[in-house]
Chain A
Amino acid sequence: MHIEPSFHKRYHKALRDTAMLKAVKNGTGRLRGQRATAIEGVGAERWMEFRNRAEAIRLHVIQHLDQYLEQLVDNVIKNGGHVCLAKTGEEAVQYISELAKKKNAKTILKSKSMVSEEIHLNPALEQQGCNVIESDLGEWIIQLAGETPSHIIAPAMHKNRFQVADLFNAVSEEKVSTEIADLCGFARKYLREKFLGIDIGITGCNFALADSGAITLCTNEGNARIISTLAPTLVTVMGMERILPGLEELTVMLSLLARSATGQKLTVYNTLSTGVRNPEELDGPQEFHLVIVDNGRSKQLGTKYEKILNCIRCGSCLNACPVYRNIGGHAYGWVYPGPIGAVLSPLYQGMDKYGELAYATTLCGACTFACPVKIPLHDMLYALRNDKVELEKTGGLVEDMTYKGWSAAFASMSRYRFSIGMARRFQFPLVKAEKIAYGPPPISDWLKHRDMPALPKKFFHEIWRDMKKDGKE
């Protein structure tokens, strides 16, 4: 999938894609509605308690990340697994590619993993001749379409059932109808057969438990559980921050994750897997590899953005975001869209590449309030903008001039009153019936979609003076 380098062009393309926008509005509308119902069920106060606890757990883990990582790695190895600590995405891809070569793997089945999308794992494996199949329904749909996920938990949210039927019919021998039940039925049958010939299974990781080395996988389709049961060689790819101390913390996170993501009380399948099978066990992998990916994460530790590592990838901030709802996920450009993506992309991939995303927000704060682990997303968006101004010494030429001029004028009442007086005097060519509908840049941008009231005959400070004169003071 070709990705247009300019955010401006990407979102304009999105704004023209009416089918996609309709699907995204439906999808996000449903998810946030379900979430709201779930929270109502819990009660606002208790929900807040839950969030506070979850935040505290995540903060604690991130503050002691080195310790927990060490404990996790020790336990995975004790359980008979192998661990790869990958500093970069390339290192992780290389490790898995070499493993696939060594195993002479033909068929690789995957369950949903955003980190694998982040490090571009599939193309690398495909290039060396592996048949990589996504087993999560949404992931499989976008794989068939040759696209990337547009939503963290619903990767094919941007597609409607007609588009999905077209994709399925391209690989199906019999005609698949556009009915949801038929579509699901076909996907189930098609993918089930693939599970049997599996050489390597690759899963993501919702949470890794440090005290046992167990990997928690949450799916509604059960596909990750099948993979972790059937694959002779199992690879789990995880972001280095996705750790919890143990089961007690997991129970809190699981109930928050499900409710925030889809409004479910609990995800349908919650699988805890400790890696390789014991000699007396009949199933489970014979070999287990845990690939822990840094790829820009550790450099957030100790910075004002550290809390971004609290994220549990529930997708709730996407559904809450008015910008996401109106442009969909692909416009953001990197794997993680929405508010979390607008913060993560510049932090992990660089301001030069994704700095624009810090401006792809109305700063309404809906994301921060939707976040189950209380990441102050909108504060971080402010901070990123400030970083741009301070570190790059410019927020753009026009902006630099505007705000320097603004602060000079607005720090002094006389200069302020003089400037607004001038504006009132010279607005007349633009005013018609007390409003402005056409004008030069930059107000032309405002006027594209709305009118602007003309500056009135009297400013408030003049009205105040008159009120005083009238003896109403």
Chain B
Amino acid sequence: MKASLFVTCIADIMYGDVGKSVVQVLRRNGVDLDFPEGQTCCGQPAFSSGYYKEAAIVAKKMIEVFEKSEKVVIPSGSCAAMIHHGYPILFANDPIWKKRAEEFVAKCYEFSQFIVDILGITDVGATFPKKVTYHSSCHMTRILGVEEQPKTLLKNVKGIDFIELPYFFDCCGFGGTFSMKMADISGAIVEEKVENIIGTGAEVLVGSDLTCLMNIGGRLSRRGVPVQVMHLAQVLDQGGGKNAY
């Protein structure tokens, strides 16, 4: 199957390794993947702050960049949700771009959603003998409606000890600029999340949204808690997999 990778700005800038794992996992599972030049960001930072015009400028660019793609895979729940939920709002009053946006939306999938729902794969053949818990990110579950797919993939990893995170559905407190604008409230919220993670006794926290993971990981690091933070793709990339290079 042919697909294009929209790696997202956060992965491009901060977490290149996650992008690499995404590529490896998808290729191993038979995806003919390309990485269209010109891609930057879905526009979420501006959209969330109320700057719809600025967001639309960047969103249009992405729609153009992926015009020729058959399917687009995005390793970030909130960016996929931004496209699905935000683009129709951005272009509600612009019939031409609305149509182009709809076509784009229809082919955009979050990473785990793509593997489970489109490829029809629930076991990618990874091995990861560790105690793992999973944080469900808000926009991915509530707005995009992708909740079980990442957990299904995780639970099928060989050797994994999956522990459900108490209040896994609670926000981690990131909220984009909220984390800086109202840093102290955000700090209190992420502290709750970290306490819940510590309570599970997990060695690894897994998630599908790099910004949430950067937030939670940053707090774990500040407190010196030795819990490793990984994107789902990095876990699925462990242990060679069935068609390892």
Task: Give the interface of A toward B (CB within 8 A).
Answer: 11-12, 15, 322-323, 326-327, 359-366, 368-369, 379, 382, 384-390, 395, 399, 403-404, 406-407, 410-413, 416, 420, 423, 435, 437, 442-443, 445-446, 448-453, 455-456, 458-464, 467, 472
**Neighbouring A residues of B183 by C-beta, 8 Å:** 445-446, 448-449
A369 with B142, Cβ < 8 A, contacts A407-B57, A450-B222 known: yes
Q: Is the interface of A mostly helix, strand, loop or mixed?
A: helix
A451:B221 contact, CB within 8 angstroms? yes
- Chain A: which residue is nearest B5 at the CB level? A464
The smallest C-beta distance from B60 to any residue of chain A, in angstroms, reads 8
The smallest C-beta distance from B96 to any residue of chain A, in angstroms, reads 18
Q: Specify which of A361, A413, A445 lies most central, judged by the most chain B CB atoms within 10 Å of its CB.
A: A445
Give the distance in Å from the alpha carbon of A386 to the alpha carbon of B190 in the complex: 26
- Chain B: which residue is nearest A413 at the CB level? B38
**Neighbouring B residues of A404 by C-beta, 8 Å:** 54
B50:A463 contact, CB within 8 angstroms? no
A362:B175 contact, CB within 8 angstroms? yes
B16:A403 contact, CB within 8 angstroms? no
A362:B49 contact, CB within 8 angstroms? no
What are 28 A-B contacts with C-beta separation under 8 Å?
A11-B184, A15-B185, A322-B171, A322-B192, A323-B182, A326-B189, A326-B192, A362-B175, A363-B175, A364-B139, A366-B142, A379-B89, A385-B49, A410-B43, A411-B58, A435-B221, A445-B179, A446-B179, A446-B180, A448-B187, A450-B190, A450-B219, A452-B214, A459-B13, A460-B16, A460-B20, A462-B16, A463-B20
Give the distance in Å from the alpha carbon of A352 to the alpha carbon of B52 in the complex: 21
**Neighbouring B residues of A467 by C-beta, 8 Å:** 20, 23
Give the distance in Å from the alpha carbon of A443 to the alpha carbon of B23 in the complex: 31
Return the 9 tightest CB-CB contacts between A and B, nearest first. Answer: A362-B175, A385-B50, A450-B218, A449-B187, A364-B171, A460-B19, A407-B54, A364-B138, A445-B180
The smallest C-beta distance from A244 to any residue of chain B, in angstroms, reads 29
**Neighbouring B residues of A460 by C-beta, 8 Å:** 7, 11-13, 15-16, 18-20
Contact among B37, B54, B191 with A406 in the assembled complex (CB-CB below 8 Å): B54
B142:A365 contact, CB within 8 angstroms? yes
The smallest C-beta distance from B142 to any residue of chain A, in angstroms, reads 4
Q: A11-B182, A464-B19 are in contact. List 8 more A-B contacts (CB 8 A).
A: A362-B189, A363-B48, A404-B54, A437-B222, A459-B12, A461-B35, A462-B16, A467-B23
Interface residue tally of chain B, by bracket?
Answer: 35 or more
A456:B221 contact, CB within 8 angstroms? no
Give the distance in Å from the alpha carbon of A249 to the alpha carbon of B47 in the complex: 38
A449:B190 contact, CB within 8 angstroms? yes
Q: Specify which of B35, B38, B176, B218 lies most central, judged by the most chain A CB atoms within 10 Å of its CB.
A: B218
**Neighbouring A residues of B14 by C-beta, 8 Å:** 453, 455-456
Task: Give the interface of B toward A (CB within 8 A).
Answer: 7, 9, 11-20, 23, 35, 37-41, 43, 45-55, 57-58, 60-61, 89, 138-139, 142-143, 169-171, 173-192, 214-215, 217-219, 221-222, 245
Give the distance in Å from the alpha carbon of A451 to the alpha carbon of B222 in the complex: 6
Contact among B49, B186, B187, B245 with A399 in the assembled complex (CB-CB below 8 Å): B49
- Chain A: which residue is nearest B8 at the CB level? A460
**Neighbouring A residues of B45 by C-beta, 8 Å:** 403, 406
Q: Specify which of B186, B217, B219 lies most central, judged by the most chain A CB atoms within 10 Å of its CB.
A: B186
- Chain A: which residue is nearest B65 at the CB level? A413
**Neighbouring A residues of B46 by C-beta, 8 Å:** 403, 406-407
**Neighbouring A residues of B50 by C-beta, 8 Å:** 382, 384-390, 395
B19:A366 contact, CB within 8 angstroms? no
A413 with B40, Cβ < 8 A, contacts A461-B12, A463-B16 known: yes
A403:B222 contact, CB within 8 angstroms? no
A362 with B16, Cβ < 8 A, contacts A449-B219, A450-B215 known: no
The smallest C-beta distance from A276 to any residue of chain B, in angstroms, reads 48
- Chain A: which residue is nearest B170 at the CB level? A322
B138:A365 contact, CB within 8 angstroms? yes
**Neighbouring A residues of B143 by C-beta, 8 Å:** 365
Give the distance in Å from the alpha carbon of A362 to the alpha carbon of B178 in the complex: 6
- Chain A: which residue is nearest B12 at the CB level? A460
Give the distance in Å from the alpha carbon of A160 to the alpha carbon of B13 in the complex: 47
**Neighbouring B residues of A462 by C-beta, 8 Å:** 16
A363:B181 contact, CB within 8 angstroms? no
**Neighbouring A residues of B169 by C-beta, 8 Å:** 366
A455 with B13, Cβ < 8 A, contacts A395-B50, A448-B184, A450-B221 known: yes
A389:B35 contact, CB within 8 angstroms? no
**Neighbouring B residues of A451 by C-beta, 8 Å:** 218, 221-222
Contact among B16, B40, B43 with A458 in the assembled complex (CB-CB below 8 Å): B16
Give the distance in Å from the alpha carbon of A442 to the alpha carbon of B49 in the complex: 15
**Neighbouring A residues of B54 by C-beta, 8 Å:** 403-404, 406-407
**Neighbouring B residues of A464 by C-beta, 8 Å:** 19, 23, 35
B181:A359 contact, CB within 8 angstroms? yes
B12:A15 contact, CB within 8 angstroms? no
The smallest C-beta distance from A225 to any residue of chain B, in angstroms, reads 37
A410:B181 contact, CB within 8 angstroms? no
**Neighbouring B residues of A365 by C-beta, 8 Å:** 138-139, 142-143
The smallest C-beta distance from A80 to any residue of chain B, in angstroms, reads 49
Q: Specify which of B38, B41, B49 lies most central, judged by the most chain A CB atoms within 10 Å of its CB.
A: B49
Give the distance in Å from the alpha carbon of A15 to the alpha carbon of B188 in the complex: 8
Give the distance in Å from the alpha carbon of A252 to the alpha carbon of B137 in the complex: 32
Give the distance in Å from the alpha carbon of A445 to the alpha carbon of B187 in the complex: 10
- Chain B: which residue is nearest A453 at the CB level? B14
**Neighbouring B residues of A366 by C-beta, 8 Å:** 138, 142, 169-171
Contact among B9, B17, B222 with A449 in the assembled complex (CB-CB below 8 Å): B222
B138:A362 contact, CB within 8 angstroms? yes
B185:A326 contact, CB within 8 angstroms? yes
- Chain A: which residue is nearest B138 at the CB level? A364
B40:A442 contact, CB within 8 angstroms? no
B180:A399 contact, CB within 8 angstroms? no
Give the distance in Å from the alpha carbon of A66 to the alpha carbon of B241 in the complex: 65
Contact among B12, B53, B174 with A362 in the assembled complex (CB-CB below 8 Å): B174
**Neighbouring B residues of A455 by C-beta, 8 Å:** 13-14
Contact among A369, A403, A445 with B49 in the assembled complex (CB-CB below 8 Å): A403
Give the distance in Å from the alpha carbon of A455 to the alpha carbon of B12 in the complex: 10
